[in-house]
Structure 1
Amino acid sequence: MAETAPPSAPIETWITGIGLATSLGEGLDAHWEAFSHRRVNADEKSFAPYVVHPLAPINFDAQIPKRGDQRQMEAWQRIGTYAAGLALDSAGVKGNTDILSRMDMIVAAGGGERDLVVDAGVLNAETKGNAAPGHLNERLMSDLRPTLFLAQLSNLLAGNIAIVHGVTGSSRTFMGEEASGVDAVRIALARIAAGQSDIALVGAAHNGERKDLLLLYEFGDFNLKEKYAPVWAREHNSGFALGSGGAFLVIESRAHAEARGAKPFARLTNVVADHARRKHSGDVTSTLESLWSRLGNSTEGTAIVTGATGAEPATSEERAFLRAHPDIPVRATGTMFGHTMEAQFPLGLAVAALSLSRGALFASADTSEQAIDMTRPPARIVVIGTGHWRGEGMALVEAIN
């Protein structure tokens, strides 16, 4: 009887490029400097009573040189295309047509931005009784650009990245709020680990400065109102402060990176996801414990970067999980960046990999009991993503010595 060959070990996967454009600035040095000063950019006035974290000033020409390309994109696409360009630059593959032509692209995206002027015109006509039969169809056909169908198509971000930066390998766009960011990274890692891909661009973007989104989330009572507070200080005023930002990563097999002489930021070892039923108190906590056990993680030299939203009851249940691991330093990206929805998990991975590459856990912007100072370089960082409504995920990112 012939022996069955043992399954091959997963291919080691490195993070070799990071692109960040957020409320704290653009690029890695700017973010590290902001972390060191515990800087937070929150706006309580522009969309009062709602708190948002607005995008820092950016010269989009630097990554999207054609003004025509910029004009046909809404803000979320410009942010994402810009952050993707930063990631490609960081990885040293910008303009390398050989690599870009076979690079996978996996994007997490929302439903796109609405045209508020058209929406307001339609609603005003209805309320004033000026809407004749067929009025709505007429307005939609005459007022909306070809790139819009009530809202922009989710895969337009990937399409614009392909046009502007020449990333023309396979392309996938996932939807599903925070969980889509988890799955985008999970699938990218799985393809590389299985030998189905050598290199991938993965990430997301979010424009939190949108009246339509604030209205949408207000229906669920999810918005943080009146005054900014760190994520862990919102028990009596729960909610998330929407943030604007883009986070993209270049991940690739170790062999591919070494062959082109690329230096890694960190090793992406594992990504796991689940979908708690959230029918009973404690469901999220137990799901996070289960994911933690599946990571194959050691607690020594470990830190946690969480995308906790501040919305209840999910945040309290996540905090119960964290309190069961009291000696592990925790950093909450929602405190610093606001909540960037689909981009929150890639954003956590980006700052985790940046920390590992700099040999230090970035400073906390809050004073919670989990915000422990870490005096020695972290060996590994667990990134947690708990959706405000659905979906949980974790990733293990490790230092490369």
Structure 2
Amino acid sequence: MSDRRDVWITGIGLVSSLGEGLEAHWTALSTPAKPAVDETTYAPYVLHPLAKIDFDQQIPKRGDQRQMEPWQRIGTYAAGLALDSAGLKGNKEVLATTDMVVAAGGGERDQTVDGAILTDIEKQPNPEVFLSEQLQSNLRPTLFLAQLSNLLAGNISIVHGVTGSSRTFMGEESSGTDAVRIGWSRIAAGTSEIALVGGAYNAERRDMLLLFALKSVALHSPWAPVLADPKGVPTGSAGAFLVLESPEHAMARGAKPIAKLSGVWSERAKRGEPGAIEALVDEMIRTAKGDVSEGTAILSAACGAPEPTSAEVAAISRSGLPVRSVTDRVGHSLEAQMPVALALAALAVSKGKLFAPLEGETLEEAFEGTLTRAIVTGVGHWRGEGVALVERVD
């Protein structure tokens, strides 16, 4: 629509297995070596562990840290990095009007209780009755306060003073796409001036690995590129937040753009229909691409689950654009995956370069041109398709 405003990315906070901050990630991405993976701690499953981080740097009060679960610490830390990057740290006037849109999961399970139930349920003559009894006594899916999804936004507000409107989305990969989409849409439409959007995920937890294993989509060692031959989901601990801002608001406070977020599309294909995922992703890529191919690349946030990733690969292969896999570098971080991919896309566009191809990833080829646009794609492991466009600000 012609009356939509531009939306600038003026701050980025990113932590993953590759390190902390944009420059650490760029250094790691510029070296086409095997990514940082752990194939032994949770054998036989593969995951990308979080790099060593001093949480005191962004969450100075130990009491605040203690009451957070790991995924909340990761997210609160990344949010602080984004605010620092945007020059907002300590600016109470602007932070009071900064909206927040967070993508979050349901918190971590009591692994001891879950393990005991899974062991004992096979011995029960009436498994349904046994499970019902456990729900009344031991299982507490969301009753433990530290597990409530909206506490990530609450902690960001408490620690960093972001006190504008707040929204929390659940829904795995789709929630991350929609968190960014809502933040972008509000600013583009003129109903918001500045927003902090993003999410976080802790992959180093047996409960989530169990869920992926039960679905038969957890990646078994050895590690392998997800686009060349998708065999499973290599989860990764990561947190990413973006500061989105209208150009007018940014210029008024002297902030410069890192890149421009030009569009976000979030859909759900009818996955029971053959070819539905591929057709939908292909359509969204064509919409994002428009008539411009020069200087454009695709950053895929593909999950690695065989069926949806194969469909995503088919769509991006037809685009004719150079491709890079985000998941190969940092793993798959569910709710945070789209924000992570957008952070890397904005970083690459700001540098004007596409990072080096990864050995073994057959879709990735050398690209020596100037990168001015990046299309981010992401198909959820069981639902949700998303595409976003990041462009250079001239």
TM bracket, shorter-chain basis: over 0.9
Structure 1's 304 and 123: CA in aligned 2 closer, same or farther, altered over 3 A? Answer: closer
- The CA deviation string for residues 104-131 of structure 1, in whole angstroms up to 9 with x for no partner, is 00011111111324545677898999x9
Residue 277 of structure 1 is matched in structure 2 by: 270
Residue 60 of structure 1 is matched in structure 2 by: 55
Structure 1's 69 and 285: CA in aligned 2 closer, same or farther, altered over 3 A? Answer: same
Determine which of 304, 308, 333 is the counterpart of 1:310. Answer: 304
Residue 361 (structure 1) shift:
1.1
Residue 232 (structure 1) shift:
2.1
Residue 218 (structure 1) shift:
1.0
Residue 95 (structure 1) shift:
1.0
The answer to whether the 8 Å contact 1:122/1:139 transfers is no
Residue 154 of structure 2 is matched in structure 1 by: 159
Q: Secondary structure at the match of 2:368?
A: coil
For the pair 1:384 / 2:377, whether they are aligned, the reply is yes
Residue 34 of structure 1 is matched in structure 2 by: 28
Q: How many residues align?
A: 385
For the pair 1:49 / 2:47, whether they are aligned, the reply is no
Matched to 1:250, the amino acid is V
The answer to whether the 8 Å contact 1:108/1:204 transfers is yes
- The CA deviation string for residues 8-51 of structure 1, in whole angstroms up to 9 with x for no partner, is 61111100001011011001111011011124101110000100
Tell me, in whole angstroms, the C-alpha distance in 1 between the residues paired with 2:344 and 2:118: 42
The answer to whether the 8 Å contact 1:335/1:366 transfers is no
Residue 198 (structure 1) shift:
0.5
Query: Identity of paired residues, percent?
Result: 54
CA RMSD after TM alignment? 2.2
Tell me, in whole angstroms, the C-alpha distance in 1 between the residues paired with 2:196 and 2:153: 10
Matched to 1:52, the amino acid is L
Q: Secondary structure at the match of 2:227?
A: helix
Residue 318 (structure 1) shift:
1.1
Tell me, in whole angstroms, the C-alpha distance in 1 between the residues paired with 2:326 and 2:135: 42
Determine which of 90, 94, 102 is the counterpart of 1:107. Answer: 102
Determine which of 13, 16, 37 is the counterpart of 1:19. Answer: 13
Residue 127 of structure 2 is matched in structure 1 by: none
TM-score after normalising by structure 1:
0.91
Residue 294 (structure 1) shift:
2.6
Give ranges in structure 2 of 5+ residues lacking alignment.
125-129
Structure 1's 233 and 101: CA in aligned 2 closer, same or farther, altered over 3 A? Answer: same
Determine which of 320, 341, 346 is the counterpart of 2:339. Answer: 346
Residue 92 (structure 1) shift:
0.4
Residue 3 of structure 2 is matched in structure 1 by: 9
Residue 3 of structure 1 is matched in structure 2 by: none
The answer to whether the 8 Å contact 2:228/2:360 transfers is no
Matched to 1:252, the amino acid is E
The answer to whether the 8 Å contact 1:270/1:396 transfers is yes
TM-score after normalising by structure 2:
0.92
Matched to 1:42, the amino acid is V
Structure 1's 252 and 137: CA in aligned 2 closer, same or farther, altered over 3 A? Answer: same
Tell me, in whole angstroms, the C-alpha distance in 1 between the residues paired with 2:46 and 2:348: 28
Matched to 2:258, the amino acid is F
Determine which of 97, 105, 120 is the counterpart of 2:92. Answer: 97
Matched to 2:349, the amino acid is L
The answer to whether the 8 Å contact 1:122/1:136 transfers is no
Give ranges in structure 1 of 5+ residues lacking alignment.
1-6
Tell me, in whole angstroms, the C-alpha distance in 1 between the residues paired with 2:294 and 2:118: 58
Structure 1's 316 and 121: CA in aligned 2 closer, same or farther, altered over 3 A? Answer: closer
For the pair 1:396 / 2:385, whether they are aligned, the reply is no
Residue 320 (structure 1) shift:
1.0
Q: Secondary structure at the match of 2:45?
A: coil
Alignment of 1:2-401 (within 5 A): 9-39=3-33, 40-120=35-115, 137=136, 147-148=145-146, 152-235=147-230, 238-295=231-288, 297=290, 298-326=292-320, 328-401=321-394
